[in-house]
C-alpha cells in the first residue's frame, strides 16, 4: 500500500460516524415514511415496500463488483461517490411524485449502500487497522445505536417538517457524512501496483470452490435469512402468544442492549478470543435460541432465553463477518471475497420476510416459523464449523 495510512483512532471515529449517519439516514427512517407517503401519494404499502426490496437486491448485486474495485483501486473515489450519491438520492426521494422514479431512487440507494456503507467500510478497516478486530468491535458499539438515535430523531423530524422536509434534513446530515468521508480518506493508503495485481491472483471462481468460503457463505446466508425474517415478524409473532403489549415491546427492545453487552465482552477479551472461536459461539447460539423460541410458546423464561441467545449471536456475527472472514480466508482479495459473500446472502435476506408471511398465512399462525428458523440456524452452525476447521 502507498500513502501514510489511517490510525486506528481515525478509523474508529471516521467510520463510526459515517456508518451511523449512513444507515441512520438511508434505512432506519424508512418504516416511518411509509404511512405519510401512503396518505399523501395514495400509493399502496406493497408498492412502497417493493421499491425498498429492489434497493436491497441492487445492493446485493453491486457488492461483488464494488469489492473487486476496492481491491484494485482502494476506497477513495468509490466511498466518496457513495456518500455524495446517498445525500442526492435523499433529496430526490423528498421530491418524488411518480412510482417509477421512486423505484429508481431505491435502486440507486442500494448501489450507494454497496459502495459506501458497511462492506466497503470494513474492507478499509481490515486494510488499514493495526488491530482490525478491536477497531471493528469499537465501531460496532457506535453503529449498534443507530436505531436508538435515528428512530426518535426521524419521527421528530417528520412531525416538525413533514416527511419531505424530514428527508431533506436527513440529506443535509448525509452531506456532512460525505465531507467526513472525503477528509478521512485523504490519509488512506492506496493499493501499490503489485498488491492490486495480487488481489486478482486467486480468481473468484476458485474461491467459490473452497470449503472455507462455502462454509462462510452458508453461515452468513442463513444468518441473514433469520435476521431479516425476525426483523419483519418478531413483534407479531410475540403478540400471537397473548402477552401484554408492554412485554412484547420490552422483549423486542432487549435485542439492542444485549448486542452491545456481547460486543463489550468481546472487546474485554481482546486477543484471547480468536474469530474462529467467537464465530463458533455465535453460530452455535443461533439454533439454541430458535429452539427455545419453538419448544414452549407459552414460556416467558424460554422466550427471554431466545432473546438473549439471538441478540448475542447477532451482535457477535456482525464482527465475525468482517474480521472473521479476514482471519479464515486471508486479506488477499478481501473486498471481492466479502462482496461475493454479501451477494450470495442477498436472496435469503430479501426472501425471508415474504416466505415467513406466506408460512403464517398458509398455516394460520406462526407456530411453524420458529421450527423453520431452528433448522436454518443449524445450517448457520454447520457452515461456520466447515469454515473454521483447521487446514
pLDDT in tens, 48-65: 988 988 998 999 999 989
Task: Decide yes or no: CATH 1.20.1250.20 for domain 8-198.
Answer: yes
Q: What are phi and psi of 368, to 5 degrees?
A: -85, -20
DSSP secondary structure of 184-197? HHTTSPBPPHHHHH
Do 204-388 and 8-198 fall under one CATH topology?
yes
DSSP secondary structure of 163-216? HHHHHHHHHHHHHHHHHHHHHHHTTSPBPPHHHHHHTTSS-HHHHHT-HHHHHH
pLDDT band for position 193 (cuts 50, 70, 90): low
Q: Taking the domains of the chain in order of start, what are their residue ranges?
A: 8-198, 204-388
Other CB atoms within 10 A of residue 342 CB: 26
3-state helix, strand, coil in the chain (%, to 5): 85, 0, 15
Non-local CB neighbours of 282 within 8 Å, separated by 6+ positions: 312, 313, 316, 317, 320, 384
Say which residue, 1 or 30, is predicted with more confidence: 30
Q: What are phi and psi of 2, to 5 degrees?
A: -115, 150
Distance CA 331, CA 117 (A): 19
Is the pLDDT at 187 greater than 80? The verdict is: no
3-state SS of 87-111 is HHHHHHHHCCCCHHHHHHHHHHHHH
State mean pLDDT over 179-198.
72
Report residue 118 as a C-alpha cell.
458497511
pLDDT band for position 336 (cuts 50, 70, 90): confident
pLDDT band for position 201 (cuts 50, 70, 90): low
State mean pLDDT over 142-163.
90
pLDDT of residue 191: 65
pLDDT of residue 146: 86
Considering the chain, what percentage of its residues have pLDDT values greater than 70?
A: 94
Task: Please work out, in degrees rounded to the nearest 5, the angle formed at the alpha carbon of residue 307 by the alpha carbons of 272 and 275.
Answer: 20
Task: Decide yes or no: CATH 3.40.1080.10 for domain 204-388.
Answer: no
Candidate ranges 103-107, 198-202, 206-210, 228-232; pick with highest mean pLDDT? 103-107
State mean pLDDT over 303-312.
96
Distance CA 276, CA 282 (A): 10
Report residue 217 as a C-alpha cell.
457463505
Weakest mean pLDDT among 11-15, 144-148, 161-165, 221-225? 144-148
Helices 8-26 & 132-143 angle (0-180, nearest 10): 30
Amino acid at each position: 500500500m502507498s500513502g501514510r495510512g489511517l490510525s486506528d483512532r481515525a478509523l474508529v471515529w471516521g467510520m463510526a460516524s459515517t456508518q451511523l449517519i449512513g444507515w441512520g439516514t438511508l434505512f432506519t427512517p424508512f418504516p416511518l415514511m411509509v404511512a405519510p407517503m401512503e396518505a399523501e401519494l395514495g400509493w399502496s404499502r406493497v408498492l412502497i415496500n417493493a421499491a425498498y426490496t429492489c434497493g436491497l437486491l441492487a445492493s446485493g448485486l453491486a457488492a461483488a463488483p464494488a469489492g473487486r474495485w476496492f481491491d484494485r483501486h482502494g476506497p477513495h473515489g468509490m466511498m466518496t461517490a457513495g456518500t455524495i450519491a446517498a445525500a442526492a438520492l435523499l433529496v430526490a426521494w423528498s421530491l418524488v411524485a411518480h412510482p417509477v422514479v421512486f423505484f429508481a431512487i431505491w435502486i440507486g440507494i442500494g448501489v450507494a449502500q454497496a459502495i459506501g456503507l458497511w462492506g466497503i467500510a470494513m474492507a478499509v478497516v481490515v486494510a488499514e487497522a493495526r488491530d482490525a478486530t478491536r477497531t471493528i468491535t469499537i465501531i460496532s458499539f457506535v453503529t449498534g445505536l443507530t436505531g436508538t438515535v435515528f428512530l426518535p430523531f426521524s419521527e421528530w423530524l417528520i412531525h416538525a417538517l413533514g416527511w419531505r422536509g424530514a428527508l431533506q434534513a436527513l440529506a443535509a446530515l448525509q452531506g456532512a457524512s460525505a465531507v467526513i468521508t472525503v477528509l478521512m480518506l485523504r490519509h488512506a493508503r492506496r493499493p501499490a501496483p503489485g498488491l492490486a495485481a495480487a488481489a486478482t491472483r486467486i480468481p473468484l471462481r476458485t474461491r467459490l470452490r473452497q470449503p472455507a468460503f462455502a462454509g462462510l457463505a452458508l453461515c452468513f446466508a442463513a444468518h441473514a435469512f433469520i435476521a431479516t425474517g425476525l426483523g419483519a415478524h418478531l413483534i407479531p409473532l410475540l403478540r400471537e402468544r397473548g402477552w401484554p403489549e408492554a412485554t412484547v415491546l420490552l422483549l423486542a427492545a432487549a435485542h439492542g442492549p444485549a448486542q452491545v453487552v456481547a460486543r463489550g465482552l468481546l472487546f474485554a477479551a481482546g486477543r484471547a478470543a480468536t474469530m474462529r472461536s467467537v464465530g463458533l459461539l455465535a453460530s452455535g447460539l443461533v439454533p439454541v435460541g430458535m429452539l427455545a423460541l419453538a419448544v414452549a410458546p407459552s414460556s416467558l423464561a424460554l422466550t427471554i432465553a431466545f432473546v438473549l441467545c439471538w441478540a448475542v449471536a447477532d451482535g457477535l456475527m456482525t464482527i465475525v463477518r468482517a474480521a472473521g472472514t479476514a482471519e479464515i480466508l486471508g486479506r488477499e482479495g478481501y473486498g471481492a471475497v466479502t462482496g461475493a459473500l454479501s451477494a450470495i446472502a442477498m436472496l435469503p435476506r430479501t426472501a425471508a420476510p415474504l416466505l415467513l408471511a406466506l408460512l403464517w398465512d398458509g398455516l394460520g399462525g406462526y407456530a411453524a416459523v420458529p421450527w423453520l428458523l431452528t433448522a436454518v440456524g443449524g445450517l448457520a452452525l454447520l457452515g461456520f464449523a466447515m469454515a473454521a476447521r483447521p487446514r
